[in-house]
Structure 1
Amino acid sequence: MENSALQSFMNFLQTTSDLVAAEVSQSSFWYQVEAIIGAIILSLLVSRFLAHRIRRWEEYFSKENVSHSIARFCLQLARRLFFSIFAALFLSLGASVIADQHLLAEKSFNLINIGYQIFYAWALLVFMIQLFTTFVATDSLLQQIKKPLYVIFWILAILEIVGILPKFIQALRAINLPIGSDSLTLWALIVGAITIFVSLLLAHWLSNLCDSALNSAKDIDNNLKIVLSRLIHIAFMAVAVLISLSTMGLDLTILSVFGGAIGVGLGFGLQKIASNYISGFIILFDHSVKIGDTVEVAGFNGKITQIKTRYSVLRNFSGEEMIIPNETFVTQNVKNFTFTDRASVATVETSIGYECDVNRALAILVEIARRQSRVLESPTPWAVVSGFGNDGINLKLSFWVKDPENGTSVLRSSIMKEVLERFNAEKISIPYTIRDVTLKGELKIKAANDSAS
């Protein structure tokens, strides 16, 4: 058995070498070689010239929107396909010249046909790489799989050129897999897997384009943008999987059984997770909390920076972040400081001596608050007497801050520094506590050397 296989392989090599030797010895072979080399040289010159022009056009489509992304993708694809397209075109012209000069018979165009197939295969490979780069958009992943992808592709291309690939495909089609009501061939399974991969990449790219379009829309609420983005992403992925499975010849009715089993598993094992996912859509739809709101929930006070599908992220003024499950916003009490109005009240307290002019001190406080850029003019700031202390009269300044999510510590500090400067200039004293200590009886001081002796 092994000897017969080895003999068959040796006969194949011998036949191939005789065929190559016979072709090389003919002048028609070298005419074809000259036509292929000339096509490659001319294609390199023309493609480089046009690629330089197209790079300039790409600079006009630098915006991150749908129309610019599609235009940029088409220009980049055309720039990369120029070599193979013009090589095939110039090779066709060379073949026409050879045929017009009657340098060889039409049936002898074997090498030129191989050249056509190589150029077309190169164009297909460039197209696949461009699609993968655009849809996945990860250069690191592309660099990892680029070499294996090239090797696999050219092996398949060589098998197609020599005529072995069709026989291999026919053998895969003859292998049936008992899946579903109909028999599924191994070739259909491979094609379906490739279709699923390509469909998911295409769905991912389309969902990203929709995200860009939604983010650029100014008349849509941020919460609605997030909801639509997630629904579009889920819809594209589901459609891609269903289309891919149908191309494989699978009966989609069998998915109902698995869907029911998955639903039961989610109901019992993933109840909390499912509740958080549903709560995430609820808070996005009812606008109870929004990105940028300042809230207090679960004992944590901060601004909402992210609303994910399962959780939300709060960031306080100290830079600390808290991950809150979305269910908490639905089932617990939430204090939203910016629910109807983003502005909130801040206060500054001080005191003056009993001998000072109270009305003048109150006017100074209001005047200083009005000069601050972050303080709203309406409602106007107000100052009141809040009490009579042991050392002086207590005053309280209140004002509305239009952006409390940025914090009020720096603003209050600036106001208090100006209050101190104005009070000193206006001779308004700020009292402080003074304590007199009285010692009764005889005070004896013992020297250190006396205690040592």
Structure 2
Amino acid sequence: MEQELAAISEQVQAFWQTAMLQAELLLLPSRLYQIGILILCIALAWVLTRAIKPRVREWMHTLEGRPKWQLRALLLVNRRLGLIIFTALIWISAAIMSEVTPFVSRRFLLELVGTISLAILLVGFAARLVRNPFLRRIVTWFLWIYVTLYYLGIVEDVSRFLDSLAIEIGDFRLSVLTVITAAIVIGALVTGARLIQSTAASRIRANEDISPSMQVLAVKFLQIMLFGAAFFLGLKIVGVDLTGLAVLSGAIGIGLGFGLQKVVSNLVSGIIILLDKSIKPGDVISIGETFGWINALGARYVSITTRDGREYLIPNEDLITGQVVNWSHSNDFVRLDVYFGTAYGDDPHKVRKLAVEAAASCDRVLATRPPVCHIVGFGDSSVDYILRFWITDPSGGLTNIRGNVFLALWDSFKENGISIPFPQREVKLLDTGKPLPETD
């Protein structure tokens, strides 16, 4: 422990001596006027930014019909406008100094600051490739710090200092430098994996020869392979011994076996659903009291959107073990039944004809599979019928088409004098010779 503290103390003293030496160099006359030029460039960049930025924003509001990537690029440039103007002013000043004097030392500080500001600007633009905001912020700050240290020429000193801050347990050693390097390398690899995955996923979804369920499975498998490879490759690059992960994987397996049974069951059920193609995005299904169409297939659940706009997340295990009605599994043809009754005095042949014509008059009812009407029984007060018809768009709703058919039946029966009976009861009071009780 004492040796580690002594090493850290030596590193701190070396940094302090370097900082004092740089401070003495800045006090030289050739550096002082360069500092004055830098301050003047900062002030001038601030004034120009305040004057130009609102006008650029107003001009951007007038742009209509432009692609989104162009608008995003303009917005990013507008946000970095101050740094862009400052970098341009620095390099203009350095170019003027190179014409005024041949000595490099007279413009060294200007070129150094200009190079660092240009590198910071390019890093800010390149970091937009990272979609996750939190990860993008971490990568941006790490790269900004690195390019600054690199052009200042103190990367090796900082690396030695960060490497001295380490935890050692037996043969295992973990330093701050290893953690930072692993985060940067894994972040870069994950970003590259995300770009490859998004490109490959768009190509897979555009391939009409692959079924929707297999497209989802292929995209999920590609994500696992790319991100897993990026993670383990990043650990291997920074020198982390992967053999120690065998014990960790065994512990994870025990945890999965005891505490995560439902989660693993849903994951396996999701893979089975994708493989057997029992359901796919866009299918109209019924499970229990839930009726809707599949919006997305997830690793743990299936998203079902109902007609009233509600989105239900059904665990994959329920779709495997429970009874599911898939209205569009093999085809889109759906047969619906409507039950009704008419009075005994009405001609059943005429009733059947009118019922078929009424159903055929509705828009969504198929003409290629004509409706049929049959007598199913003689009730207490009516002759009972069943009217069957076919549709091909169950996602458009079932209740509304049944309602339209009932309304068509009502209009047709009313126009042709067909009555729809209802139960009637006759109450008969018997005379027992006893007076009825008086009421208040």
1:87-116 per-residue CA deviation (whole Å, 9 max, x = no partner) reads 667755654543344x35223323323332
Matches within 5 A, 1:374-393: 374-393=364-383
Q: Tell me, yes or no, if the aligned pair for 1:347 and 1:399 is still in contact at 8 Å.
A: yes
Partner of 1:120: 118
Change (3 A) 1:73 1:238: farther
Change (3 A) 1:35 1:303: closer
Partner of 2:182: 192
Change (3 A) 1:434 1:72: closer
Partner of 2:27: 20
1:229-276 per-residue CA deviation (whole Å, 9 max, x = no partner) reads 211221221121022112211233443443344334434543443232
Within 1, Cα distance between the matches of 2:64 and 2:223?
Answer: 28
Matches within 5 A, 1:147-226: 166-173=156-163, 186-215=176-205, 220-226=210-216
Match for 1:373 among 363, 376, 380? Answer: 363
User: What is the identity percentage for the equivalent residue pairs of Structure 1 and Structure 2?
Assistant: 25
Partner of 1:419: 409
Q: Tell me, yes or no, if the aligned pair for 1:177 and 1:184 is still in contact at 8 Å.
A: yes
Partner of 2:224: 234
Q: CA RMSD in A?
A: 4.8
Equivalent residue of 2:418, what SS?
coil
1:12-39 per-residue CA deviation (whole Å, 9 max, x = no partner) reads 77994785263477xx748966996799
1:347-393 per-residue CA deviation (whole Å, 9 max, x = no partner) reads 22223333323222211111111111111112210112222233332
Q: Tell me, yes or no, if the aligned pair for 1:387 and 1:395 is still in contact at 8 Å.
A: yes
Equivalent residue of 1:341, what SS?
coil
Residue range with higher mean Cα deviation, 168-177 or 409-418: 168-177
Letter in 2 for 1:444: P
Partner of 1:98: 97
Equivalent residue of 1:419, what SS?
helix
Q: Tell me, yes or no, if the aligned pair for 2:166 and 2:175 is still in contact at 8 Å.
A: yes
Change (3 A) 1:178 1:127: farther
Within 2, Cα distance between the matches of 1:24 and 1:319?
Answer: 68
Change (3 A) 1:12 1:292: closer
Task: Give me the TM-score of the superposition, normalised by structure 1.
Answer: 0.73
Change (3 A) 1:410 1:189: closer
Within 2, Cα distance between the matches of 1:15 and 1:219?
Answer: 66
Letter in 1 for 2:98: A
Match for 1:440 among 419, 430, 434? Answer: 430
Equivalent residue of 2:336, what SS?
strand
Q: Tell me, yes or no, if the aligned pair for 2:168 and 2:174 is still in contact at 8 Å.
A: yes
Within 2, Cα distance between the matches of 1:106 and 1:267?
Answer: 68
Within 2, Cα distance between the matches of 1:14 and 1:278?
Answer: 63
Within 1, Cα distance between the matches of 2:22 and 2:304?
Answer: 75
Partner of 1:65: none
Aligned length: 425
Equivalent residue of 1:348, what SS?
strand
Within 1, Cα distance between the matches of 2:135 and 2:261?
Answer: 38
Change (3 A) 1:231 1:76: farther
Give the Å deviation of 1:338: 3.3
Corresponding position: 1:273 with 2:263 = yes
Match for 1:302 among 283, 291, 303? Answer: 291
Equivalent residue of 2:417, what SS?
coil
Q: Tell me, yes or no, if the aligned pair for 1:290 and 1:304 is still in contact at 8 Å.
A: no
Within 2, Cα distance between the matches of 1:217 and 1:84?
Answer: 44
Change (3 A) 1:285 1:31: same
Within 2, Cα distance between the matches of 1:213 and 1:11?
Answer: 54
Equivalent residue of 1:399, what SS?
strand
Within 2, Cα distance between the matches of 1:178 and 1:24?
Answer: 45
1:185-241 per-residue CA deviation (whole Å, 9 max, x = no partner) reads 542332112222343344345434544554555554321222122112212211210
Letter in 2 for 1:117: T
Corresponding position: 1:361 with 2:361 = no
Letter in 2 for 1:113: E
Matches within 5 A, 1:281-296: 281-296=271-286
Letter in 2 for 1:22: P
Letter in 1 for 2:335: V
Matches within 5 A, 1:64-79: none
Gapped regions of structure 2 (runs ≥ 5): 1-11
1:42-75 per-residue CA deviation (whole Å, 9 max, x = no partner) reads x979x9899999999996544xxxxxx6x88888
Change (3 A) 1:349 1:318: same
Letter in 1 for 2:435: K
Corresponding position: 1:130 with 2:120 = no
